[in-house]
Structures are given as structure tokens and as C-alpha cells.
Amino acid sequence: MIDSIRGQSLLTLEGLSARALVEILDTAETFVEVQSRTVKKVPALKGRVVASLFFEESTRTRLSFETAAKRLSADVLSLAVASSSVKKGESLRDTITTIDALGIDAVVMRHQSSGAALQVSRYVPHVRVVNAGDGQHQHPTQGLLDVFTVRQILAERHDTTGQESGAELFEGLHVLIVGDVRHSRVARSDIQAYTALGAQVKIAAPGTLLPVDMQEWPVTLADDFSEALEWADVVGLLRLQHERGSGSFVPSLAEFTATYGLTMERARRLRSETIIMHPGPMNRGVEIDSKVADLPSAVIARQVTNGVPVRMAALYLSVAGLKEDGAA
């Protein structure tokens, strides 16, 4: 298990211990306060260069990361490479070595292919790579901001702070993840974050949207979606990526909504304190009813807000941790 990401690339949440996760969450909490200042900047990464390299466009994630880097006073190189590297005839290695030649300390990378961030970290081992989503593999900062948001809300309820609570509020917490787990990098990161912190995770999805082999996954399958909703302290919905063909894994979007959508009727089964989450962008009316998305217990906007301090923490620990630890 890895106990700290200081000075390390952040490619996956697989293998991170509760201690490593809590360190990131605690660091993020110190950055929350920065957002409420008039001058929303700390000099932590002053003089450092962070490149944001999005092979697959995602305005929200890119903005969140770039805002995070700027609040840490890093210089940001924003590179538009959304068109496929293959179409341009350039290999992943050539793309990253070219950008590295500009002189960078870190790269925030989004790619449509699973594993691309890990590959890039091998090509430029001296550069810290922060994975902003790779194919259907991992989306570490989304997993982190999800557990951060849950901890923040639970701490408020218990009249404590996240930092004081560490990981203890996750002990035995019931988390239900619903929908297209098979194609979801968010689900893979979420499951690893929640279970490492001590939560119990259940999955509810039609068989075709489950990964082919989940035997090693630290989760259980919900036999009955309605009962699972009553069981849940947290419901994490996933986007049905019908633009990538996930729609063909179910007979129709309407049937998916009828069987696994969080409709108003189903939302009424939730306990009042159950937290509803969605990584966005939502398909309103598909995996989540529009009215449910606007319930007070739906914390989707808060997830987005928390994205910035969590990404500041990831960048800070990954990049600034470098010299303090004397790591090469």
C-alpha cells in the first residue's frame, strides 16, 4: 500500500492506503479556506509549470484543474490536443516529449484510452503526471472529491471538521453505486476510495453494465434496488455514456430509467439524510430525474465546488512534495 502521494504521480487510487487518502483530504481542507479569500492564491507552486493535456475534451474538468493550478501560483500551459493523436499521426511518446521539452514540472492529463496516463509517466519519469481520467480505467481526482464531499457533509452533521474526523466517519458507511459501472472510470476510483476509507460499497446495475469479472472487487451486488436505496447512506449515480455506445447494453434508455433510474418515486424511499451524488454531466431524465437532481440532498454542485481544493491538494502533494522528500 502507498501511504503518501508526496512527490509521486497520481495515476490511480488503486493501492492508496487510508492514510494516503486522508492526507490528500486534509490538505484539500486547508485549501477550501483559500477559496473564500479576496485574494484566492497561495504561493505553493510559484515558478512551477503545470501543463494540462486533454486528448479528450472536458471543459469542466479542465477548468477545475487549471483553476486549482493557478490558485497554487503555478504557470499553466493549456494544450488543446482533443483531436485524436492517431489521426495526427503522432505517438503518445512524441506528444509528451515535445511538451516536456518546453520545461514542465507536471502534466494533468485526460485521455480516451485506459492506461494512457501510466504510459506517459513512463515516457517522462521526471514529470509528475496527474490523471484527469483515462478511458474506462481511473479518474482519481473525481474519486477524491467524492469522498471529500461526503466527509465534509458528515463532519458538519457531527459538528466536527473533516481533519479532526480523519477516516472514522467512513467506518461502516453504506455507499450504493448505481448504473454503468462497466464503462465507468469514476466507479473504479470511487470504489477504491470508499472501501480504503472503511465504507461498504454495493453496486446496482443491469448485468450488462457490470464489469465482466468483479470477483476481486471489494463490493457486493444489490439483489433488490429498492431495498438497496433504503440501505444507502450515500447514493452515487453514474452517467450512462450512451454517446459511447453504452446505450446498446440496455434495451432502451427508457427501460434503464424504469429499472435503475433514480426517479422521484424511488427517491422517496431514501432516508432524509441520504446523500445523492453524480459526477456530471448528468443525463437528466435518464439516470436521475430532473426534480431529484434539484433536491437539497443532491450535492452535485458541491462536488463541483470541491473539485478545486481537492485538485489543488493533489497537485500540491504530487509536485511540491518532490524536493522536501528529496525524491528524484
Partner 1 sequence: MSSLVIRNGMIAGATSLEMGDVLVVDGTIVETGEISSVPSGVAVVDAEGCWVGPGFVDLHTHLREPGREEAETIESGARAGAIGGFTALVAMPNTEPALDSVALVSYVLERGARTVLDIAVAGAITVGRAGERLAPMGELAALGVRLFTDDGTGVQDPSLMRRALTYAAPLGVRLAQHCEDESLASNGTMNEGAISSRLGLIGRPALAEELMVMRDIELVRLTGGALHFLHLSTARSLALVHEAQRQGLRVTFEVAPHHFTLDESACEGFDPIFKVHPPLRSAADVLALREALRSGMVDAVATDHAPHAPELKDLAFDEAPAGMLGLEHAASLTLEALGGGSDVALRFFELLSRGPARIAQLRKSDAHPRHSSHGGSLVAGEDANIVVFDPRARWHVDADGLQSRARNTPYHGRELLGRVRATVAKGQLIVNEGLLI
Which residues are near partner 1 by CB under 8 A?
14, 85-86, 91-94, 111-116, 118-119, 122-123, 134-138, 185, 188, 211-217
Quote the least distance from Cβ 115 to partner 1, whole Å: 3
Quote the least distance from Cβ 14 to partner 1, whole Å: 8
Residue number with CB closer to partner 1 (184 or 303):
184
Burial profile 251-278: b = 16 or more Cβ within 10 angstroms, e = fewer? eebeebbeebbbeeebbeebeeebbbbb
DSSP state of 221: E
The CA-atom distances, in angstroms, between 96 and each of 80, 175, 183, 272 are 13, 38, 26, 48
Residue number with CB closer to partner 1 (140 or 162):
140
The total of other beta-carbon atoms located within 10 Å of residue 215's CB is 5
Residue number with CB closer to partner 1 (101 or 212):
212
Residue number with CB closer to partner 1 (84 or 226):
84
- Could you give the strand order of the β-sheet that contains 275-277, starting from the edge strand earlier in sequence? 220-221, 200-204, 174-178, 234-237, 275-277
Quote the least distance from Cβ 111 to partner 1, whole Å: 6
Residue number with CB closer to partner 1 (48 or 239):
239
CA distance 20 to 56: 28
Quote the least distance from Cβ 121 to partner 1, whole Å: 10
CA distance 94 to 249: 36
CA distance 273 to 54: 37
Phi, psi (deg, nearest 5) at residue 172: 75, 5
Residue number with CB closer to partner 1 (213 or 223):
213
Residue number with CB closer to partner 1 (116 or 308):
116
Residue number with CB closer to partner 1 (18 or 214):
214
Give the relative orientation of helices 18-35 and 300-315 as an angle to the nearest 10 degrees. 110
Quote the least distance from Cβ 279 to partner 1, whole Å: 15
CB 10 within 8 A of CB 314: yes
From the list 301, 233, 236, 224, the residue with the least C-alpha distance to 262 is 236
Quote the least distance from Cβ 199 to partner 1, whole Å: 19
The total of other beta-carbon atoms located within 10 Å of residue 164's CB is 11
Quote the least distance from Cβ 218 to partner 1, whole Å: 11
CA distance 272 to 297: 8
Quote the least distance from Cβ 110 to partner 1, whole Å: 12
